[in-house]
Amino acid sequence: MRDDDFINLTLRYLDRVITREEMDMLNAALADDAERQRQFRELCIRSQVMRDTLGGRRAAADETAALTGAAGVAGVAGGATEPVAPGVARRLRLPVRVLAIAAAVALAATVAVTLLWPGVTHDDHGGGATTAGTGTGTGTVTGTAVATGGQASVAMVADAAGAVWGDGIAPGMMTAGGNLDAGPLRLESGVAQMMFARGAAVTLIGPTDVELTGDNRCTLRRGVLVAYVPESAHGFTVDVPGGSIVDLGTRFGVYVDDRGVAELHVLAGRVETVRPTATGPKTREITEKHAIYFGATGETIDAAFDARRWTTPKRGEPIVSGQIVMLPALPTSLAKGAFENDHHIAMFLERSGVTLRSNVKVTLTEPGAYDKYDGRGVTVPKGTKVTSYLLHYDTVGGSMQEWKFLSGAVTFDRPIVGVIAMTDQLNATDDMLGVAGVTYREGKGTARHLEDGEGDRVTISADRRTLTLYLGTSNSLDHVRVLVAADADTKAKE
């Protein structure tokens, strides 16, 4: 089919004047043709943008009504069914998906997620769109939000490529276009994006525990959620341990740590926090480029706004979440007092593809949760090729009377070979794995290690790709050096 014929068919479909014969031609053109699917997606997005711009709120209201059941989507000429991606329920006809994709495109400006557009199928028996499998995307998993069929789904998967799920969810069960029922989801690592039924586009960055509770609402128990909320989803709500976060037309990011403390950053627009009290709900409006801590008991405290915290990297780069920020270059000094910050743990790439010229002693290599580090030593053998990263936490002014805690996680695209968290091991590897010209310490006696029983906790995931940190410090310096396999999956030896 020529390009102009394909474009004409797509435009006729979007104008809802396509005939059944033309619909069959469009479906045939889209089948197993990635370039045609890309063109189709772009035309749908442009159509939605024009509709929103030129048609005002009427079109958005019509599509929202169709999605929520208040009114049906107008049929196309000749009774033809609309093409729909695999895994999408009958009630989610493509104009609604276009609305969701337009929301996701806007979100992608803040969160770097590549959307997938699955193949398009046609129901020869009439009666609307059908679910056409591309794997096990609609399989049943007890106790999770993966769609079981026969229920009113509250969201759909937009992209879960590379995501690792918990609670028995296999990778193939979370395919793009798959339905999600109300229920809990555990994202162990990676990035996943979903569209709620009313159009809110949400990105999760693992490790994250979330529960989908409605077509415009969820509960974030732990981890990172970034949301873009179009007009159709006004009022989108994220419940957190201390209360609720309600959209007022916005783009925002939320992080909930293991203590139940939520950190809210408003990237655009406004949100309202709501906390229950004995005398009734108390609200607070948070505006663009402002941030707060939202305590587990409902109290709110101003925080430092940082847009960098909510932008995921390109594929292949480490995915950081929580209060870890990946910075582009090391400062000239990381010694105590030279690079202080109370609000984030700084992470730096040190050396890429370094071949170890001698055996290197590290602190941790095996999956598990750790809170004791003294005396640990495992050897990574000479000749191993690694990439090294440094995580740095140094509070402003440091005082023995005031402990400060930060937490977060980082996921790599290759396995972790070793974690170095003791001063002697850090000092011994500065020359081989550090960056020339950077001062890591002032004098050999400077302590820069994680401490036993002082609130420093480290977890290495079962697949060795995610490192989770909970660091507490007062007047000391915390450094953690992470060695990631540069070539093959290499395991340290005892």
Same domain, 88 and 29: yes
Classify the phi-psi angles of 113: left when phi > 0, otherwise alpha if psi is within -120 to 50, otherwise beta.
beta
CA 83 to chain CA centroid, nearest Å: 29
The verdict on residue 176 lying in a domain is: yes
Predicted local distance difference test score (pLDDT) of residue 21: 82
Same domain, 293 and 319: no
Residue 420: pLDDT over 90: yes
Q: Are 247 and 264 in contact (CB under 8 A)?
A: no
Average confidence (pLDDT) over 284-295: 93
pLDDT-based confidence at residue 425 (cuts at 50, 70, 90): very high
pLDDT digit string (tens) for 30-59? 876 777 776 776 666 555 444 443 443 344
Average confidence (pLDDT) over 300-317: 81
- Collapsing DSSP states into helix, strand and coil, what is residue 488? coil
Predicted local distance difference test score (pLDDT) of residue 446: 73
Residue 248: pLDDT over 60: yes
DSSP string, 95-123: HHHHHHHHHHHHHHTTS---------B--
Q: Are 247 and 229 in contact (CB under 8 A)?
A: yes
Predicted local distance difference test score (pLDDT) of residue 364: 95
Q: Where among 292, 308, 324 does a domain terminate?
A: 308
Same domain, 241 and 293: yes
Predicted local distance difference test score (pLDDT) of residue 172: 65
Same domain, 475 and 335: yes
Report the share of the chain in percent with pLDDT over 90. 36
- Helix H or strand E segment including 485: strand 478-485
Report the share of the chain in percent with pLDDT over 70. 72
Same domain, 291 and 348: no
For the ranges 114-128, 281-295, 349-363, the lowest mean pLDDT is seen at 114-128
Q: Where among 78, 108, 138 does a domain terminate?
A: 108
Same domain, 333 and 464: yes
The verdict on residue 399 lying in a domain is: yes
Same domain, 292 and 349: no
Same domain, 476 and 356: yes
Average confidence (pLDDT) over 205-217: 94
Average confidence (pLDDT) over 299-316: 81
Domain limits for position 408: 313-485
What Å distances lie between residue 440 and 1, 166, 334, 405, 425, CA to CA?
62, 38, 5, 22, 13
* Whole-number Å distance between alpha carbons of 368 and 362: 15
CATH number at residue 268: 2.60.120.1440
Same domain, 263 and 289: yes
Predicted local distance difference test score (pLDDT) of residue 109: 39
Same domain, 470 and 337: yes
Predicted local distance difference test score (pLDDT) of residue 105: 45
Residue 353: pLDDT over 60: yes
Helices (H), 221-373: none
The verdict on residue 63 lying in a domain is: yes
The verdict on residue 493 lying in a domain is: no
Structural domains in the chain (count) = 3
pLDDT-based confidence at residue 395 (cuts at 50, 70, 90): confident
Same domain, 330 and 478: yes
Q: Are 194 and 157 in contact (CB under 8 A)?
A: yes
Residue 96: pLDDT over 50: no
Same domain, 325 and 411: yes
- Collapsing DSSP states into helix, strand and coil, what is residue 313? coil
pLDDT-based confidence at residue 60 (cuts at 50, 70, 90): very low
Residue 65: pLDDT over 60: no
244 vs 494, more confident: 244
Q: Where among 45, 79, 108 does a domain terminate?
A: 108
The verdict on residue 126 lying in a domain is: no
